[in-house]
Structure 1
């Protein structure tokens, strides 16, 4: 079985590619801008015909699209999160119409939800930021493509290799620097008042592997999360405990005003039923693994 992972050098893509390589009888191909990728392609700018030619030569049985942007200008977000999936679907229809597509969406597509509730897949999508809106456009391109496709709407992923664009990776880097220089002054980060559904990146990779290889047709949307909302403050303090840092972590002045999305928690019943998937890593295990991999003093950031 030939599996193509697009965005295989990113935070999620690295774990997905590693998980797939552990499967028996599988050949994993990677696609992206890195010179070592099997398909040298930038999904944000490639033309559909060019991508179709590359995919035709690769002849994948299934494709995991882990490529995307979590920050940058609105143009960057639209190119990476909206245009790229649409171009990919057009190329797959031409070059590999029978291949299954597993596309990574985001819980940010839902927008504000009721406090204390778990959001199901059928909940209305009402994103409040450019990132969520761009991801929603990509989801609509995939679910309306007519392909054998499923969008995994992932909540906040955490674990080894987390990048600086989001709090776990950014705080890891700051803690590493503080310990390296023997500091104990308070570290000030963004808002800590919101609640988020943190899921281990290794559990996300397992969900992608199950979706790619499932023999039965899949629904168009599946939530992938922990099913539990945690205060952002709890994540920050847990990372401090994992690091052994003796200072405090505080919200930056004015950062703890009411967030646009104060609560995020996914209902993950459908993924359990359809994929026989469930998260296996606790938040403590995720933060400990993140610190061991990327935070210990002397450790170079990935």
Structure 2
């Protein structure tokens, strides 16, 4: 870190993007947040819809040294996922190449790109991606665009982030849905809880993103961000029930799908000294507490 960094965060209004911006602010790092859904303190920007000239102007005027792409969609029709997770990435890469060619490009990818693994195994960055659905497939397509840019000489890093939880988690996440339903009623409607996921707190993820953004050294093209420990989703829901102190009935919808995911995080530890600091218990406690 030189003190001259200017970080441009796309998707700044989202769960991850807002936390990244807050951490940059705490560290005294100059940044500009761009969001398609929120105005102040961020600038409105829809990567998939805005004219390329407008995007070029934004990037060209700010002259970022780092671009973080935290924008994307987790749910929606296939066309919506393609626009948010593929077309938006292509537009941002093209504008970065033409207007901030020396900037580091940090793409927030997803463990969904890997698909599932054998029970008890850990997925490292050499794991062959085999996404199981439209979300994972479109996230992989976006990541492949970033990796292609890296092969053509760009300074890019893809972070494959496992299941993010923590205070303020949206209702598209397991903990967000469970907390919403516990607050509103005693009926929990979720997908199958017989799946194992590597749950990592949003604050730890933000620390990893900022570490990658500000690192001086050249980094591997792909880095995993998780805890290295899978937890049964049913146990996570159970801990939230205990925190609520109230009974609830669970309605599970759909088959389990991908049954096991667990990150191998040794590479990011070796490269940056990063490791998660917030335990699952603390993350769930803070998540429940922040909604009271």
8 Å Cα contact 2:10/2:71 also seen in 1: yes
**2:274 corresponds to 1:277:** yes
Between the aligned partners of 1:52 and 1:166, the Cα distance in structure 2 is 33
Aligned to 1:145: 149
Matches within 5 A, 1:138-287: 138-146=142-150, 147-178=154-185, 185=186, 187-245=188-246, 247-252=247-252, 255=254, 257=255, 259-287=256-284
Between the aligned partners of 1:249 and 1:215, the Cα distance in structure 2 is 51
Shift of residue 37, structure 1, vs aligned partner = 4.9
Between the aligned partners of 1:32 and 1:250, the Cα distance in structure 2 is 35
Number of residue pairs the alignment of both structures matches: 284
Shift of residue 207, structure 1, vs aligned partner = 0.2
How large is the RMSD of aligned CA atoms in angstroms? 1.4
8 Å Cα contact 1:48/1:87 also seen in 2: yes
Corresponding residue SS for 2:224:
strand
Shift of residue 189, structure 1, vs aligned partner = 2.6
Between the aligned partners of 2:39 and 2:243, the Cα distance in structure 1 is 35
Structure 2 unaligned spans of 5+: none
Q: TM-score, normalised by structure 2?
A: 0.93
Shift of residue 49, structure 1, vs aligned partner = 3.4
Query: Deviation per CA, 1:166-218, whole angstroms, max 9, x where unpaired?
Result: 2211111111113xxxxxx5534321101000000000000001000000001
8 Å Cα contact 1:3/1:64 also seen in 2: yes
Structure 1 unaligned spans of 5+: 179-184, 297-302
Shift of residue 249, structure 1, vs aligned partner = 4.5
Between the aligned partners of 2:240 and 2:283, the Cα distance in structure 1 is 9
Distance 1:248 1:39, change over 3 A: closer
Distance 1:88 1:186, change over 3 A: closer
Dislocated runs of 4+, deviation >3 Å: 185-188
Between the aligned partners of 2:95 and 2:190, the Cα distance in structure 1 is 42
Query: Deviation per CA, 1:110-153, whole angstroms, max 9, x where unpaired?
Result: 01211100001011011110000000011011111132110110
Corresponding residue SS for 1:22:
helix
Between the aligned partners of 1:271 and 1:261, the Cα distance in structure 2 is 24
Shift of residue 276, structure 1, vs aligned partner = 0.9
Matches within 5 A, 1:1-302: 1-24=5-28, 26-33=29-36, 34-146=38-150, 147-178=154-185, 185=186, 187-245=188-246, 247-252=247-252, 255=254, 257=255, 259-294=256-291, 296=292
Corresponding residue SS for 2:140:
helix
